[in-house]
Amino acid sequence: MKRNTNPNAFFTSAEQAQITTAIQQSEKATSAEIKLIVLRHCWLDIKQKAADLFKKHGLDKTRQRNAVLILLVTTNGEFLIYGDEGIHQQVGQSFWDDIKGAMTGHFRQDEFGTGLKVGIERIGEKLHAYFPCGADDQNELSDEIAYEE
């Protein structure tokens, strides 16, 4: 069965819950923020689109510049993990490539909820090492999946 490319109908309710829970659990151990944005089309270069959405959703406004965007484009069948400058300086490109590889294996088997959960958990573990959760930590961004047309 082929998935619906409408971002609002792409995930099952169980997958939505799995992803949101993974974000919430990962963020409990780190001051960093993780955001999943799902959109139907990307007519631009995906890195440029990620940069635009990063700003649109306020991910560039976190106190420690430690937000991560996972951008999933349903029609194009592509995704990108985009870390703010504070994170990218710490972890480097190979970290993002490793996570993308782990997620891709699940995506190829139509296991998008599991793939995103695995990626989010790995991001959270790594971010905990560089950006541990402090006593004054606040959830700066919604943990809900953002859908764009």
Banded pLDDT at 1 (limits 50, 70, 90) = low
Which tens digit of pLDDT belongs to each residue from 37-65? 999 999 889 999 999 999 999 999 988 88
Bridge partners, residue 14, by sequence: none
For residues 39 and 10, give the distance between their C-alpha atoms in angstroms, rounded to a whole number. Answer: 10
Which tens digit of pLDDT belongs to each residue from 94-105? 899 999 999 999
Does a structural domain hold residue 40?
A: yes
Range of the domain at 71: 19-148
Bridge partners, residue 78, by sequence: 73
30, 124 contact by CB (below 8 A) = yes
118: CB partners within 8 A, 6+ apart: 102, 103, 106
Encoding tokens for residue 132?
């541990």
pLDDT beyond 90 at 36? yes
Does a structural domain hold residue 6?
A: no
What's the predicted TM-score (pTM) here?
Answer: 0.93
E-state strands within 49-144 = 67-73, 78-83
CATH number reported for the structural domain that contains residue 86 in this entry: 3.10.310.50
Does a structural domain hold residue 11?
A: no
Which tens digit of pLDDT belongs to each residue from 104-140? 999 999 999 999 999 999 999 998 998 888 777 778 8
For the chain, how many structural domains are there in total? Answer: 1
Does a structural domain hold residue 12?
A: no
